[in-house]
Chain A
């Protein structure tokens, strides 16, 4: 179908589609409104608050600009035809007006860009001027879990745990981030933006958490097969509660105090578990996998893959690949009673 001559009447169908378009565009917006507040816009740290307000500022201003451009584009093509039909005969006045308007708009673009750059820089400067001192937590990324160490003044006072990071509210925290294998990236939307964990380097991230709560975080840099299951949990506690938690974590594992737990303990030490896992206070001193000394005090299993329940522990121990295909932990051949007692033992590691 050839293009209609320039003056020919347009198909009315096109015009009728314009409002339909508006409605359709509104659908996702409405759906969005039904959801919970997105984590990045629900800040619980000074850093995340600043970024959230920056997001709102940018969205508001740029959204208006977008709307203006879209409206003007539509107006431009539906205005009545002005000037002669000959493509090479242009009204000089019209061209002058166009030049002036486009010139002003380009200057305005430059101003907006400079303004936003300034805003961004101001936020960035405050973001990275957090205190240099604080509670030091070393996080090492592994495929696909987080090793967490709280520095102590002597090696015996170092607390080692995994995937769950407790922090005191209001006290500055210094995260030292490394990776043992590939690049990972730590991200807790309500608390902090991303910071990469890169093998052979150490990145430092300063953080203050404003409110008590449990905040979900996860790996944001694609790190292989189970990148989807590399969650972390930030637990922000009142300083006193945090100190109690730290003392409890520093203690060695409780000795098994019931027969099934004792046989579970023995099975644990007899099986290959000890090649990778440590349970302080027992001969198990493996360093390749997560420290299990206070395993049952943690809320999740397998870096956020499962909740910490009896059933989940049993499923994980007997067939980790059924839960998280590709995970480094091999399946452990256990008889039914062995599995029961081992789960009972692991559950006692509070």
Chain B
């Protein structure tokens, strides 16, 4: 079914291809008989993007998009981290006058908002966008233009928030923006509107990426990758994407209602006109609690990948690990009320949420035990990724323990909204997500860049982070029990909170230094790192079969999966499928459960329209803060941009 090779032949003219298709002929050059070098050359031309600035802006390559996501998220991490350092400087001593209340409230709001919406979720999605297609043996992510669009929307939303901060218009009502404090009466000005629109930006972006990831896993898996051969990290991203889909609409709806209350005087949260203050809290935490798992579940995927590679054996308890992910996802929707125990809800209802919140310890326990059982007696090499996994186990488990404590109604009423809770969720989020994330970065950096990160700097990075983290946050447990509430810009000297706050601030300097080292290491290794082989850790999943960094088309021929650690099973050579086109972006669509080859589908290539659409959407979002009519003309603008996006530019191009 293939044509002869004509080296140097120009691509088949469009009209001829169309005519051939109409007559039922094979219209395209297929890969079957091409020698490897020629195949790579042709595929690189088909899957590459135009050079120059416009080409760069037009890229829909999931690896470029994922990398951009990653870099942007790390910049936001640095910004939000700087905000945290400013707070630690102010709180180091009692009655300090470094930062006034107005600025402090903006800073802690920016810290929380940026960390949750602009760093933690996007950085996990960055890994999803970059790695999921590689791990399932696909040439690209499903709906590549949508993924590119998502990135731009995320970037513009983040820029809007931080530009507002520079203009002294940053939100100052906390990342949770409780009404009525965030409502029209108590937050005049544009600060809360900026917050609400930032939510809209980032949720549009996250939701779109979630759909892309789900469809990639469902329909673009390599032949033979049945459900029980999907890598655990991919399962984690898949389950996370489902949580995104069902959790994020709640906060989008809530923030839309908030902005409507503020801009056109609807009465959703005005108790004097029949609205309800607690409605906001219900909607926010219905999203807010699953949000924690949106951040944590991908990290469990990183841990699984690192543990399996370093233990040099398949995961112990593959099925329980997958089921634990699913169970956590389900339970995460039944916990939100434990953020509201102090609101005076009926006691019976509250105790139900105690039970469900504590129950989530069971799937988490299953995961921890399975990882330890995988590592047991395998003498993993203690390289940096593994160190971060060990740090994760120690810190996250402590966060889990304090999580059990705050699930208890009487106990929570004592520690709620104190530094105890600040300690708890930093143990969970930094220990449970950021440590695995840094480990994952050391682990996959060679795949991303073709170079290894410095192991010496990596060890310094880890130990500084580990010690600095515990110094910063352990003492906060005690501060909370001593009575220190959250979100205070200062405290009196006779409170006795001074010494521990000083310890915490000193620890935070170490923690910040560890991130400094991380950035130095990542940048230095980009040029100077040791060149990485394709599979430096002797891991078993498909991404390690590719050169480092992978070419634009990922797999020259789609691999066939015979085991859930295919590279360990197929030591000599990897079986591959052939017969896909080389002169257009043809990919394989497979069936949902068994991943049998089903369709050859042409996917859209580079395009500037996702960027233009994102700009149009951003104009509409930002303008609607200032005029409700912007929703109308902005909508028309977005519609026009989308028309440009979807209208085919040539006859063999398909829409997304």
Q: Which residues of chain A have a CB within 8 Å of any CB of chain B?
A: 1-4, 6-8, 10-11, 13-14, 17, 21, 24-25, 27-29, 31-32, 34-36, 38-41, 48, 50-51, 54-55, 58-59, 62-63, 65-66, 69-70, 72-74, 76-83, 85, 87-88, 90, 94-95, 98-99, 101-102, 105-106, 109-110, 112-113, 116-117, 119-121, 123-124, 127-128, 143, 181-183, 185, 187, 189, 192-196, 198-201, 203-204, 216, 218-228, 325-326
Q: How far is the CB of A82 from chain B (nearest CB, A)?
A: 4
Q: Is the pair B410, A123 in contact by a Cβ cutoff of 8 Å? A: yes
- In order of increasing CB-CB distance, the 8 nearest A-B pairs are A193-B413, A200-B271, A120-B408, A228-B488, A38-B481, A203-B344, A62-B401, A82-B377
Q: Which of B116-124, B353-361, B640-648 contacts A (4 or more CB under 8 A)?
A: B353-361
Q: Does B636 contact A (CB under 8 A)?
A: no
**Closest residue of B by beta carbon distance from A324:** B101
Whether A2 pairs with B482 at a CB distance below 8 angstroms is no
Do A4 and B499 form a contact, CB below 8 Å, given A39-B483, A98-B373, A113-B361?
no
User: Given the complex, which residues of B lie within 8 Å of A222, measured CB to CB?
Assistant: 173-174, 178, 181, 417, 486-487
B316 within 8 A of A: yes
Q: CB within 8 A of B410: which of A39, A51, A223?
A: A51
Please measure, in the bound complex, the distance between the C-alpha atom of A14 and the C-alpha atom of B186, giving whole angstroms: 54
Q: Is the CB–CB distance between B413 and A14 below 8 Å? A: no
Q: Using an 8 Å CB-CB cutoff, how does the interface string of B406-426 with A read, 1 for contact, 0 for none? A: 011111111111100000000
**Chain B min CB distance to A97 (Å):** 9
Could you tell me which residues of chain B, from 324 to 380, have a CB within 8 Å of some CB in chain A?
342-344, 347, 350-351, 354-355, 358-359, 361-362, 365-366, 368-370, 372-373, 375-380
Query: Chain A's nearest CB lies how many Å from the CB of B103?
Result: 11
**B316 partner, pick from A3, A88, A98, A228, beta carbons under 8 A:** A98
Indicate whether A182 sits within 8 Å of B475 (C-beta atoms), given known contacts A38-B483, A228-B101: no
Bound-state CA distance A101–B434 (Å) is 29
Neighbour of B530 across the interface among A2, A73, A128, CB < 8 A:
A2
Contact B379 A80 (CB under 8 A): yes
- 8 residue pairs of the A-B complex, CB under 8 angstroms, read A3-B383, A40-B414, A69-B368, A77-B386, A183-B181, A201-B271, A222-B181, A225-B101
Contact of A183 among B178, B354, B378 (CB under 8 A): B178
Assess whether B405 is in contact with A201, with CB atoms less than 8 Å apart: no
Q: Are B418 and A35 in contact (CB under 8 A)?
A: no
Contacts of B490 in A (CB 8 A): 228
Q: Which residue of A69, A198, A325 is within 8 Å of B344 (Cβ)?
A: A198
CB of A144, distance to nearest CB on chain B (Å)? 10
Contact A102 B373, beta carbon cutoff 8 Å: yes
Q: Which of A17, A25, A121, A124 contacts B463, CB < 8 Å?
A: A17
* Whole-angstrom CA separation of A61 from B494 in the bound complex: 33
Residues of B that sit less than 8 Å from A by CB = 100-102, 105, 173-174, 178, 180-181, 185-186, 271-272, 276-278, 310, 312-314, 316-317, 320, 342-344, 347, 350-351, 354-355, 358-359, 361-362, 365-366, 368-370, 372-373, 375-383, 386-387, 390, 393-394, 397-398, 401-402, 404-405, 407-418, 452, 454-455, 459, 463, 466-467, 470-471, 474-475, 478, 480-483, 485-491, 496, 499-500, 503, 530, 532-533, 536-538, 540, 563, 565, 568-569
CB-based contact A1/B409 at 8 Å:
no
Contact A198 to B470, CB < 8 A, known contacts A40-B483, A80-B379, A226-B101 = no
Smallest beta-carbon distance A171→chain B, Å: 22
Which of A39, A90, A106 is B365 in contact with, Cβ under 8 Å? A106
Please measure, in the bound complex, the distance between the C-alpha atom of A61 and the C-alpha atom of B354, giving whole angstroms.
18
The answer to whether A200 and B359 touch across the interface, beta carbons within 8 angstroms, is no
Contact present for A25 and B470 (CB under 8 Å)? yes
Instruction: State A71–B105 Cα separation when bound (angstroms).
Output: 41
Main SS class of interface, B: helix
User: Chain A residues with Cβ under 8 A from B394's Cβ?
Assistant: 70, 73
Q: How far is the CB of A178 from chain B (nearest CB, A)?
A: 11
Instruction: Decide yes or no: A121 and B565 within 8 Å by CB, A196-B344, A228-B101 being known contacts.
Output: no
Whether A228 contacts B489 in the complex (CB less than 8 A), given A79-B379, A113-B404, A203-B344, comes out as: yes
Contacts of B503 in A (CB 8 A): 27-28, 31
How far is A223 from B186 in the complex, measured between Cα atoms in Å? Answer: 10
Complex: how many Å from CA A65 to CA B413? 24
B430 CB → nearest A CB, Å? 16
Inter-chain CA distance A68–B373, complex, in Å, is: 14
A189–chain B nearest beta-carbon distance, Å:
4
Contact A31 B485, beta carbon cutoff 8 Å: no
Residue of B nearest to A226 (CB): B101
CA distance A102 to B350 in the complex (A): 31
Q: Tell me the smallest distance from the CB of A50 to a CB of chain B, in Å.
A: 7
Which residues of chain A have C-beta atoms less than 8 A from B409's C-beta? 120, 124
Contact of A13 among B320, B362, B390, B459 (CB under 8 A): B459
Interchain nearest-CB distance for A25 vs B (Å): 6
Tell me the bound Cα distance from A99 to B351 in angstroms: 33
Quick one: given A3-B381, A40-B483, A113-B358, are A32 and B478 in contact (CB under 8 Å)?
yes
Q: 17 extra interchain contacts, Cβ-Cβ under 8 A, other than A73-B372, A87-B540?
A: A1-B383, A10-B381, A14-B382, A24-B470, A29-B474, A38-B483, A51-B414, A77-B380, A79-B377, A87-B313, A90-B313, A106-B369, A117-B358, A216-B483, A218-B483, A220-B416, A220-B485
Q: Is the CB of A3 within 8 A of B538?
A: yes
What separation, in Å, do the CA atoms of A106 and B367 have in the docked complex? 10
Interface contact B500-A21, CB-CB below 8 Å: no
CB distance from A35 to the nearest CB of B (A): 7
- Asked whether A6 lies within 8 Å of B478 as measured between CB atoms, the reply is no
- Please give, as numbers and ranges, the residues of chain B lying within 8 Å of A76 by CB-CB distance: 372, 375-377
Query: Nearest chain-A residue to B366 (Cβ)?
Result: A106
The smallest C-beta distance from B321 to any residue of chain A, in angstroms, reads 11
Taking the closest CB of chain B, its distance from the CB of A261, in whole angstroms, is: 31
Complex interface: chain B residues within 8 A of A62 (CB): 401-402, 404-405
How distant is the Cα of A116 from the Cα of B354 in the complex, in angstroms? 10
Let me know if A121 and B351 touch, CB within 8 A.
yes
Do residues B475 and A2 form an inter-chain contact, with CB atoms below 8 A? no
Most buried by B among A11, A28, A35, A62: A28
Contact status B483-A24, CB under 8 Å:
no
- Residues of A within 8 Å of B277, CB to CB, are 183, 198-201
Contact at A35–B496, with CB atoms within 8 Å?
yes
- Bound-state CA distance A76–B366 (Å) is 16
Residues B474 and A28 in contact, CB atoms below 8 Å apart? yes
Residues A6 and B312 in contact, CB atoms below 8 Å apart? yes
Residue of B369, B459, B475 touching A28 (CB-CB under 8 A): B475
On chain B, the residues within 8 Å of A41 by CB distance are: 481
| Residues in A neighbouring B414, C-beta threshold 8 A | 40, 48, 51, 55, 189, 193-194
Q: Closest residue to B405 on the A side, CB-wise?
A: A58
A194: which of B101, B361, B417, B491 is its contact (CB, 8 Å)? B417
Which residue of A10, A36, A102, A224 contacts B317 across the interface (Cβ within 8 Å)? A102
Q: Which of A50, A83, A220 has the most CB of B within 10 A?
A: A220
Are A325 and B100 in touch, CB under 8 angstroms?
yes
Across the interface, which residues of A come within 8 angstroms of B397, CB to CB?
66, 69-70
Q: Nearest A residue to B351 by beta-carbon distance?
A: A121
Give the CA-CA distance A54 to B354 in the complex, in Å. Answer: 14
- Least CB distance, A181 to chain B, in whole angstroms: 6
Chain B nearest CB: distance from A177 CB in Å? 8
Question: Given that A28-B503, A77-B390, A223-B181 are known contacts, is A4 also in contact with B381, CB under 8 Å in the complex?
Answer: yes
Neighbouring B residues of A4 by C-beta, 8 Å: 381, 383
A81 touches B358 (CB 8 A): no
Contact among B314, B467, B487 with A88 in the assembled complex (CB-CB below 8 Å): B314
B369 contacts A6, C-beta separation under 8 Å: no
Residues of B within 8 A of A223 (CB): 181
A199 touches B405 (CB 8 A): no
Cα(A38)–Cα(B463), bound, Å: 30
Among A40, A70, A72, A325, find the residue whose CB has the most chain B CB atoms closer than 10 A.
A40
Contact (Cβ within 8 A) A6 B379: yes
How far, in angstroms, from A210 to B86 measured CA to CA in the complex? 42
Give complex CA distance A218, B486 in Å. Answer: 11
Identify the closest chain A residue to B406 (Cβ).
A58
